[in-house]
């Protein structure tokens, strides 16, 4: 249960602390005083959506903290222990801080958690039935969710299995459809890819071949020029007329130096430098001569090399930027061809898998349908009994299942039907229920579901909307009944509901001397409660008789 709530810099609230009793708590006050702001703050504390508008004007951040206590044997402690969050005094302190800079800090017992982890715990502690939440009964897709919740954890686990089977079936179906090319299309694609593969393989591409061919074509195209230049170079180096080649001249220079080397030792060093030059000239001339002798210029060879080079360049235009990409493309289409050749077999296997998965899903979904029908009968009985207690003595309530195409949630949608008065047919709740009836139906459902969920605290924000008189009295009695086993916190405008509370809090709005508006909360004693109930019955400045009536109602309750 929620023992204590602290709110700072949240909307109109500057600094507020509220203590709650373990049974029936009500919050009352004039319209506009900020009752729903407290529910918004509590919703934020439990993991609700954070909004910058929540932060009080002129401040940088808002902080909401709550202290919750749980019985020693509560199964929820298992989750707390798994996350190592337990306190010695068996309390949970939830803290939510939001800032204008976007920071959002969630703590439980001082430990920072992710919002998803934090919300998992917060939503399990409190069930908030917010303003107009009963309007969800107007949306028939919510009816199935309510019925499934009524089935409890075991039923929800079975529903999860059906969803999983459906998703697996859909995934297989998509894969199969992707493979189901027509036979004509498949064969056409095989022919096209096979042609491309044959063309690439038939080229017998060698690594570095294009570069080598480009070099060869360049040499062959310039063979005459190369030959003439090499001949001149050879002559200049080694076989010049009248002994004028570089080799001859260097040789003469060496002979001249040898004649005088005995006269000066420095000439020996010069000779040692020139002699290797002679050998280098001889070697270079020999290489040129060999190149000239081996050079085989052939117009036919040039034409053949050019043709091969152009062929490879065309392949690159078709299949890749260079020969490496062409070969990589060949590997890719080879794998695709293998897949296409085997697609008939794979398609058959996928079709068989789809059929098996569909049958498995169908069997489980039909079982889910049977469970829902059984749950529907039980829910009809329990809701009808609750509504009779809520001043709807002649009501008939029914749960209808409407077949739908297979889906993740099963084979049917669910609709709640109601007949408030004798002699009338059952019709959808969304079409005929009044606002007050919707409130009571939702209260009945919440009462039933809370026992299954094991939620320790139930919050009702203006559950009395659209009802009065005997119906309001019955709603008050039902809330009091719930509070015998669960903590109830109710924001209400109904004095009949407020009179039954164990703990009465009034919310007021004050304007400070600086002109700022503040929301305050006060716990009421008996005399103060009488004044507040009288105000709720008759507005401002209630008469003495009205106060006596309020006192009588309070004492009776």
Confidence band for 89, pLDDT divided at 50, 70 and 90: confident
* CA 305 – CA 311 distance, rounded (Å): 10
* CA 552 – CA 554 distance, rounded (Å): 5
* CA 32 – CA 44 distance, rounded (Å): 20
Confidence band for 369, pLDDT divided at 50, 70 and 90: very high
Residue from 110, 112, 94, 106 nearest 42 by CA: 94
Q: Higher pLDDT residue, 544 or 57?
A: 57
Which pLDDT does position 312 carry in this prediction? 85
Which pLDDT does position 30 carry in this prediction? 85
Q: How far from the centroid of its chain's Cα atoms is residue 94's Cα? A: 25
* CA 536 – CA 271 distance, rounded (Å): 127
Supply φ then ψ for residue 19, to 5 degrees. Answer: -105, 140
Residue from 464, 451, 452 nearest 501 by CA: 464
For 42-75, b/e burial (b = at least 16 CB within 10 A) is bbbbbbbebeeebbbeeeebbbbbbbbbbeeeee
Residue from 390, 483, 499, 498 nearest 445 by CA: 390
Residue from 25, 44, 6, 69 nearest 489 by CA: 25
Which pLDDT does position 63 carry in this prediction? 96
Q: CA dist 439 to 149, 310, 461, 472, Å?
A: 19, 84, 11, 10
SS3 content of the chain, % helix, strand, coil (to 5): 60, 20, 25
With contact defined as beta carbons under 8 Å apart, do 53 and 107 qualify?
Answer: no
Alpha helices (H) in 390-420, listed in sequence order: none
> 213: how many CB neighbours lie within 10 A of its CB?
21
Strand partners, 418: 397, 427
- DSSP assignments along 81-110, one per residue: HHTT---TTSEEEEEEEEETTS-EEEEETT
Which pLDDT does position 548 carry in this prediction? 87
Supply φ then ψ for residue 207, to 5 degrees. Answer: -60, 130
Tokens 């235009």 identify what position?
317
195 exposure class (CB count in 10 Å sphere: 0-12, 13-18, 19+): exposed
With contact defined as beta carbons under 8 Å apart, do 77 and 86 qualify?
Answer: yes
* CA 114 – CA 147 distance, rounded (Å): 30
Which pLDDT does position 172 carry in this prediction? 92
- DSSP code of residue 137: G
Which pLDDT does position 414 carry in this prediction? 94
* CA 426 – CA 337 distance, rounded (Å): 62
Q: Which two tokens stand for residue 73?
A: 């044997």
* CA 344 – CA 342 distance, rounded (Å): 5
* CA 511 – CA 185 distance, rounded (Å): 79
Q: Are strands 396-407 and 126-129 parallel, antiparallel or unpaired?
A: unpaired
Q: Mind listing the domains of the chain with CATH numbers?
A: 1-131+462-524 (3.40.50.300), 186-336 (no CATH)
> 235: how many CB neighbours lie within 10 A of its CB?
16
* CA 303 – CA 224 distance, rounded (Å): 16
Query: What is the pTM for the complete model shown?
Result: 0.63
With contact defined as beta carbons under 8 Å apart, do 257 and 274 qualify?
Answer: yes
Q: Give the mean model confidence (pLDDT) for residues 479-494.
A: 90
Residue from 520, 514, 461 nearest 57 by CA: 514
Q: CA dist 380 to 26, 145, 413, 477, 555, Å?
A: 30, 15, 16, 21, 36
* CA 185 – CA 346 distance, rounded (Å): 17
Which pLDDT does position 113 carry in this prediction? 92
User: For a pLDDT cut of 70, what percent of the chain falls above it?
Assistant: 96
541 exposure class (CB count in 10 Å sphere: 0-12, 13-18, 19+): exposed
Position 259 pLDDT exceeds 70:
yes
> 501: how many CB neighbours lie within 10 A of its CB?
27
Tokens 């017998």 identify what position?
204
Confidence band for 311, pLDDT divided at 50, 70 and 90: confident
Q: What H or E segment, with its residue span, contains residue 43? A: helix 35-45
Position 242 pLDDT exceeds 70:
no
Question: Strands, DSSP E only, in 54-164?
Answer: 61-69, 91-99, 104-108, 111-113, 126-129
Which pLDDT does position 140 carry in this prediction? 78
Position 307 pLDDT exceeds 80:
yes
Which pLDDT does position 24 carry in this prediction? 94
Position 446 pLDDT exceeds 70:
yes
Strand partners, 82: none
Q: Higher pLDDT residue, 321 or 540?
A: 321
Position 344 pLDDT exceeds 70:
no
Which pLDDT does position 134 carry in this prediction? 62
Helix (H, G, I), strand (E, B) or coil at 343: helix
Confidence band for 133, pLDDT divided at 50, 70 and 90: low
């Amino acid at each position: 249960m929620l023992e204590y709530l602290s709110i700072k810099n949240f909307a109109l609230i500057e600094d507020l602390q509220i203590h709650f009793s373990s049974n029936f708590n009500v919050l009352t006050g004039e319209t506009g005083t900020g009752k729903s702001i407290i529910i918004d703050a509590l919703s934020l504390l439990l993991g609700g959506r954070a909004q910058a508008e929540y932060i009080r004007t002129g401040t940088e951040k808002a902080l909401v903290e709550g202290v919750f206590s749980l019985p020693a044997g509560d199964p929820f402690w298992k989750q707390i222990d798994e996350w190592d969050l337990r306190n010695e005094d068996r309390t949970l302190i939830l803290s939510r801080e939001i800032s204008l800079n976007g920071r959002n800090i969630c703590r439980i017992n001082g430990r920072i958690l992710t919002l998803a982890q934090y919300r998992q715990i917060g939503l399990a502690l409190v069930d908030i039935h917010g303003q107009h939440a009963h309007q969800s009964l107007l949306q028939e897709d919510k009816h199935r969710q309510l019925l499934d919740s009524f089935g409890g954890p075991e039923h929800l686990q079975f529903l999860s299995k059906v969803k999983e089977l459906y998703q697996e079936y859909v995934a297989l179906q998509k894969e199969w459809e992707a493979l189901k090319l027509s036979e004509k299309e498949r064969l056409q694609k095989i022919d096209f890819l096979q042609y491309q593969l044959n063309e690439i393989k038939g080229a017998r591409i060698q690594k570095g071949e294009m570069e080598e061919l480009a070099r060869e074509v360049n040499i062959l195209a310039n063979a005459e020029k190369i030959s003439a230049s090499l001949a001149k170079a050879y002559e200049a180096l080694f076989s010049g007329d009248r002994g004028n080649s570089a080799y001859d001249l260097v040789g003469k220079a060496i002979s001249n130096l040898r004649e005088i080397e005995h006269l000066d030792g420095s000439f020996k060093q010069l000779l040692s430098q020139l002699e290797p030059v002679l050998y280098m000239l001889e070697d270079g001339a020999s290489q040129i001569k060999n190149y000239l002798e081996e050079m085989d210029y052939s117009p036919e060879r040039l034409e053949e090399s050019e043709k091969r080079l152009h062929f490879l360049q065309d392949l690159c235009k078709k299949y890749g930027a260079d020969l490496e990409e062409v070969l990589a493309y060949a590997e890719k289409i080879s794998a695709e061809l293998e897949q296409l050749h085997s697609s008939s077999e794979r398609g058959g296997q996928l079709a068989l898998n789809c059929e098996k998965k569909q049958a498995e899903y169908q069997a489980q979904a039909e079982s889910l349908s049977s469970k829902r029908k059984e749950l529907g009968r039980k829910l009809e009985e329990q809701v009808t009994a609750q509504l009779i207690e809520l001043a709807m003595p002649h009501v008939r309530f029914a749960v209808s299942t409407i077949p739908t195409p297979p889906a993740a949630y099963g084979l049917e949608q669910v609709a709640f039907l109601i007949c408030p008065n004798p002699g009338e047919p059952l019709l959808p709740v969304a079409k005929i229920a009044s606002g007050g009836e919707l409130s009571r139906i939702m209260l009945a459902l919440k009462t039933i579901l809370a026992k299954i969920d094991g939620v320790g605290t139930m919050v009702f924000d203006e559950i009395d909307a659209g009802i009065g008189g005997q119906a309001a009295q019955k709603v008050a009695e039902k809330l009091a009944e719930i509070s015998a086993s669960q903590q109830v916190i109710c924001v209400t405008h109904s004095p009949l509901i407020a009179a039954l509370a164990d703990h009465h809090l009034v919310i007021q709005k004050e304007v400070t001397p600086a002109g700022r508006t503040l929301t305050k909360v006060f716990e009421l004693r008996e005399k103060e409660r009488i004044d507040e109930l009288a105000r709720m019955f008759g507005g401002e400045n209630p008469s003495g008789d009205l106060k006596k009536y309020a006192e009588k109602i309070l004492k009776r309750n």
